[in-house]
Homo-oligomer: A and B are copies of this chain.
Amino acid sequence: MSDQLITHIRNFVQLTDEEAELISSKVTLVKLKKKAFVLTPGKLCKANYFVAKGLMRLYFISKKDIEQITQFALENWWITDYDSVDSKRPSHFYIQAVEDTEVIVLDQLTEDELIARIPAFEHYLRLMLQKAFTAAQRRMEMLNNMTDEERYRSFSSRFPDFNQRVPQYMVASYLGITPQFISRVRARKPRIS
Contacts and interface: CB of A to CB of B under 8 A. Distances in A.
Given A130-B129, A144-B68, A137 B60 contact: no
A144 B82 contact: no
Interface stretch (A18-26, A119-127, A161-169): A119-127
A71 B130 CA distance: 15
Copies of this protein in the assembly total 2
Nearest to A115: B123
Contact of A68 (B115, B123, B141): B141
Interface string A32-71: 0000000000000000000000000000101100001011
A158 to B, nearest CB: 14
A26 B120 CA distance: 23
B126 A70 contact: no
Given A82-B130, A86-B134, A134-B86, A60 B145 contact: yes
Given A145-B62, A145-B68, A136 B126 contact: no
Contacts of A60: 141, 145
